[in-house]
């Protein structure tokens, strides 16, 4: 029989994204950024190894050669960029599809990627 007693407290999925939660898993330290709930982590540029190299590996899992990397705080958009995009979306909402951005760094490296915080806009005004 079910009881109508006090409900157990529940944790919403967002509560795990609040407050800059930091953790280490498969890579170095990662964290959930508080203002936009994005997971900030090192970004790797890899080259796929030849099939022969992969299957010669003891576990057949040596797939990639890391050729460059960028710390997450350098790869992620800044709070100022995030706020500017939201101001622009008020007058020009994004169209359906992927949004790309390129970041140029002082040492002339650049990185282009799909932005993770893309929101679809139906254009219906609802």
Domain ranges of the chain: 16-114
C-beta of residue 98 within 8 angstroms of C-beta of residue 122? no
Q: What percent of the chain has pLDDT over 90?
A: 42
How far is residue 28's CA from residue 41's CA, in Å, rounded to a whole number?
Answer: 8
DSSP-assigned beta bridge partners for residue 47: 65
Coil, strand, or helix at residue 103? Answer: strand
How far is residue 27's CA from residue 97's CA, in Å, rounded to a whole number?
Answer: 29
Q: Which residue has the higher pLDDT, 103 or 76?
A: 76
Is this structure's pTM higher than 0.75?
A: no
How far is residue 85's CA from residue 98's CA, in Å, rounded to a whole number?
Answer: 15
């Amino acid at each position: 029989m079910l009881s109508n007693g006090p409900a157990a407290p529940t944790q919403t999925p967002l509560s795990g994204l609040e407050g800059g939660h930091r953790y280490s898993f498969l890579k170095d330290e990662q964290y959930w950024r508080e203002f936009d709930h994005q997971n900030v982590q090192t970004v790797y540029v890899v080259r796929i190894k030849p099939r022969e190299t992969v299957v010669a590996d003891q576990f057949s899992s040596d797939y990639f050669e890391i050729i460059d990397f960028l710390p997450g705080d350098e790869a992620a958009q800044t709070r100022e960029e995030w706020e500017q995009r939201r101001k622009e979306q008020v007058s020009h909402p994004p169209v359906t599809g992927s949004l790309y951005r390129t970041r140029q760094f002082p040492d002339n490296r650049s990185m282009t990627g799909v932005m993770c915080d893309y929101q679809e806009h139906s254009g219906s005004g609802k």
